Each structure stands twice: as structure tokens, then as C-alpha cells.
């Protein structure tokens, strides 16, 4: 009995320091001071929205009526404050509806971080429901983009996203996060990005 209890305690302790990828998204946004964001929910981003519900006292999410509204609102916020604007949407049409605003932010040098949900990584390339290759679509209109397929990548990639959006000539960054990466677990520590030696499209 005693052994079993000890094992349970050990498991519980380990679980306490692990959080989900979705929660890591929220904690990363808060670490960047991004507590006012704009978006529209949908299937492939639901784990993150579930965390928005839990963190609603710390992070204010504004539900717009269309993803294009969300990204333009994020642009308006960024332009009037000088801070990075954040827009979030689901995969497929949610992601493509952001694109006009991404292109607008690119040509007008507006710092944005866009987060899109993506189908589970095992479904990538299978024409799954609401799957679209938003990385290819957004490549010519973003300053940087990246697809996260593992929960453990989330803090570092979001830190880079905020840094790249705001540094030098500002611009939009798009981070696509597969649903399994949102559900997956990681040990969360957040270190703000202060400098990148090389900014490369396929930066790991």
C-alpha cells in the first residue's frame, strides 16, 4: 500500500510541473504582456479556447464576427499602442480568412502574432476536415511563419514570434499549431527572446 501511495504521489508531482500545449500558449501570451487578443474559435483551436475560459480573468479574448475582423482589430490595437497585436483563428477557413489582414500588416509594417489551429499532425496532408496548408499560403505575406507539431516547442517558438514581429522593421508572424501539440504536455519555462543571430524562415 505504502509503495502504491508513493508512486501516486510521484505521478502527481510530475503532473504538476507539466502543462498542456494549449495552456502553454496562454502562459506564453501572458509572459509577453499580450492580455488583449482578438479571434474566432473552431474545431482545431478548441484546446486553446478551453484555456482562454480558464484564464479569462487574466487574458481578455475579444470575439469578433469574422476572422478578418479579428486581424484588423489586432492591427488597430498594434498601430495605436505600438505593441504586438495578436489574432487567433482555427484551421482551414479560419486561417485563410486572416490572410488579407496578414498581407495588410506585412505591407504596412504592423507587428502581429497570428495563431492558427491545425489538424492533428497524423492527419497533415490527408485533406482532413478544415485542413489547409496555411504555412505555404502565408509564406509570401509573413515576416516569419512556423508550424508547431510538438507541445514542447510552444514557448520557444512563441518567444521568437513576438521578437521577430516587433524587432527591426515590424511585421506579421504566423504560428500554426497542430491539435495534438495543443493537447500534448510539456515542462513549461518561458524565456523572452532578446536577440536572434539569424532570422531564417525555417528556423528551428
DSSP three-state, residue 104: helix
**Cβ–Cβ contacts within 10 Å for residue 31, how many?**
17
Comparison of 68 and 178: residue with beta carbon closer to other proteins:
68
**Cβ–Cβ contacts within 10 Å for residue 188, how many?**
19
* Minimum CB distance to other proteins, residue 155 (Å): 25
Say which residues have a Cβ less than 8 Å from residue 11's Cβ, sequence separation at least 6: none
Residue 112 bridge partners (DSSP): 85, 172
171, 106 contact by CB (below 8 A): yes
Per-residue x/- mask for other proteins, residues 163 to 192, rule CB under 8 A? -----xxx----------------------
Per-residue x/- mask for other proteins, residues 33 to 52, rule CB under 8 A? ---x-x--------------
* Minimum CB distance to other proteins, residue 98 (Å): 12
Question: Per CB under 8 A, which of residues 52..111 are in contact with other proteins?
Answer: 62-66, 68-83, 85, 100-101, 103-104, 107-109
Comparison of 38 and 188: residue with beta carbon closer to other proteins:
38
26, 55 contact by CB (below 8 A): yes
In the complex, which residues of this chain contact other proteins (CB under 8 A)? 36, 38, 62-66, 68-83, 85, 100-101, 103-104, 107-109, 168-170
Amino acid at each position: 500500500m505504502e509503495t502504491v501511495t508513493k508512486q501516486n504521489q510521484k505521478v502527481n508531482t510530475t503532473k504538476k510541473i507539466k502543462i498542456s500545449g494549449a495552456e502553454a500558449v496562454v502562459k506564453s501570451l501572458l509572459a509577453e504582456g499580450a492580455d488583449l487578443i482578438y479571434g474566432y474559435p473552431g474545431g482545431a483551436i478548441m484546446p486553446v479556447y478551453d484555456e482562454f475560459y480558464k484564464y479569462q480573468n487574466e487574458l481578455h479574448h475579444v470575439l469578433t464576427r469574422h476572422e478578418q475582423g479579428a486581424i484588423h482589430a489586432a492591427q488597430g490595437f498594434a498601430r495605436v499602442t505600438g505593441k504586438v497585436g495578436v489574432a487567433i483563428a482555427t484551421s482551414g477557413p479560419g486561417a485563410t480568412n486572416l490572410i488579407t489582414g496578414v498581407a495588410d500588416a506585412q505591407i504596412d509594417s504592423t507587428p502581429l502574432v497570428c495563431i492558427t489551429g491545425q489538424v492533428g499532425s497524423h492527419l497533415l496532408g490527408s485533406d482532413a476536415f478544415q485542413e489547409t496548408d496555411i504555412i505555404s499560403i502565408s509564406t509570401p505575406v509573413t515576416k516569419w511563419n512556423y508550424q508547431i507539431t510538438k507541445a514542447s516547442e510552444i514557448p520557444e517558438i512563441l518567444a521568437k514570434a513576438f521578437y521577430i514581429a516587433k524587432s527591426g522593421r515590424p511585421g506579421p508572424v504566423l504560428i500554426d499549431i497542430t491539435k495534438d501539440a495543443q493537447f500534448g504536455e510539456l515542462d513549461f519555462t518561458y524565456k523572452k527572446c532578446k536577440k536572434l543571430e539569424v532570422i531564417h524562415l525555417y528556423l528551428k
